[in-house]
Structure 1
Amino acid sequence: MNRRHALLLPLAALSAPRLAQAQAWAPSRPVVLVVPFAPGGPNDLVARLVAPHMQAALGQNVVVENRPGATGAIGARHVAGSPPDGHMLLVAASGTMTINPAVMARPGYDPEKDFAPVSLAMTVPNMLLVHKDVPARTVPEVIDWLKREDGKVNYSSGGVGSTEQLGMELFLHATGTRATHVPFPGGAPAVTAMIQGQCQASILNAATVRPHVVSGALRGIAICLPRRFAALPDIPTMAEAGYPQVISASWSAFLAAAGTPAPAVARLNETIVAALRQPEVTERLTAAGFTVDASSAAELGQTISTELARWKQVVRDAGIQMN
């Protein structure tokens, strides 16, 4: 036996029990993917793309069920209260798992205690952008402009306590600048307000605003993730501008009820990751502006904990309050 094979043996010994554990569990009835939003959104898309591949791998029907309401809280509560046996999964958004619990006094669920993470699915960054007539093209220029205006700049968001508001407040706090928040009932009107000039700056979903950046109606300044956005590769990141702490993105992920047995979580993770890596799934999600980000259960759990702590701090710093 050569040295390389000898070194690999311990790794094989470690991975074999995990594989056997994953293969030991199989669903005994249909698996339900609960999307806590109306049909047609990103979470609905990834659930319906993954479901057929899960069904083929698990040998049971996999059904997508939409339970919209309260920015995802209704569906989240439903899954949190379901039997912890692996037959029901929440297809959660980052807002459901890390924004709602940070801004709501009583969301009705605990993202860290009431769920068993299974896998991250996809990510799309948020982006700092300005109206085309704003005299700023870089992060330092935006900071100087905000300081000159000293609170007179309006920034739009999809509502009080939204991902957009928290992302912008994180940026303002990190740069020592001020701006006036103008909330709208959703991301689409927040974008429209930017295009029309009612608001002059914002941090919005990069996939949503991409057409308006390409057309020149809006100017992309920086991507709020450590890596650049493939759909707009010429726009630098906040980290490149010297603000690596300004991280703001939207993601989708799969979670089961807390207490779901480890073999079930392992098999579901294996199945979902394999589905996300299917070329037709990756191509559809990429075309929609998302980056496929399949992960381990532990990695998803760490993401939730890190982001929840970040947004709770932003809420405290900005004095954001919701009922």
Structure 2
Amino acid sequence: MSNWKSLPTKSWSVTGQTLIGLGASEGPYRTSYAIETGTESFLNGRVSAMIHITSNRSVAGAGLICRANEIRTFVAFYVVTSDIAAGQYHVHLAAFKEGRIVLSAKLKKTISIPDHQFHISLQFFSGDIIGEIAAGPEHHTLSYTVAEVPFPGNCGLIRFYNTTTVARKIQIEKISVAPILPERDEKGADDPAIYPYSVFLSHSSADKETVLKVIESFKRNNISYWVDHENIEYGDPIVAKIEDGLRKSKYIVVCLSEKFARSGWCRAEYGAILHREFSGDTSRRVIPLSLDGCKDSSAIPLLLSDKLRASFTDQTDFNKFITFLQN
């Protein structure tokens, strides 16, 4: 238990096998966290602990972090007191960048935590994050796919709003083999019931005219596809529709162009699948397709730069790409 670093300094202390958070905090959520530095940072793993919130503050919170660095960037799974129901807690999964939340998910209902003690675990593999809490007789699970490309980091504990926190039975382990994910559980990757679409087209709306020409080629060659303007109607929940299309598509084709480089939304679309490739999951694939033949490196996202690209402007190459999708 000696290889812990607290941020801010001296905001956590080690006593035997117990980690205690007390005192200094910083940022808009008055946070302090401690990371285990005895091992190299890693991308995939699990962390768990028994946590006791000992302060009687009206607003309190504590939990676990993974993929953490020293500039308050990490993924956190934690509880925080409800501002509506007394004695209840909200359960959150959130990604923080330099101390501020950039995306998050929350359990729909609040939970009770008898004696303010609970067992908490956080599993992270590629873009898939699963948090579990056992409080008294109740067990709660919250999962989320983080749409930003992950980077290795350290694991540890976090507390919010200057909450005095005691953590015991802390366990951290690296995962080298992918957990069984729902989409690969019972049926093979080539099963049309799993992937009714061959292709999910991720593109900038500014490239729609060219994308329509790509779609015409898919139609002529009986390649099933999902594209936003054909599957999202007025009033539909956009994010839910896109997530459904991604789940049902075998290949995610990223349509690259100078215009695409300016679209952060597109990165969120293909990011979660790219996470899995980085972690050894080859059942699905992200494929770059150059729409305009642009060779400017700024038009090609860094994490796609090493992938073999198909070209729409090179007819011979595009025909090979069509044949690949048909097989």
Alignment TM-score, normalising by the size of structure 2: 0.23
Between structure 1 and structure 2, the one with the greater Rg is: 2
| Structure holding more helix per residue | 1
Structure with the larger RCO, 1 or 2 (CA within 8 Å, 6+ apart): 1
Alignment TM-score, normalising by the size of structure 1: 0.23
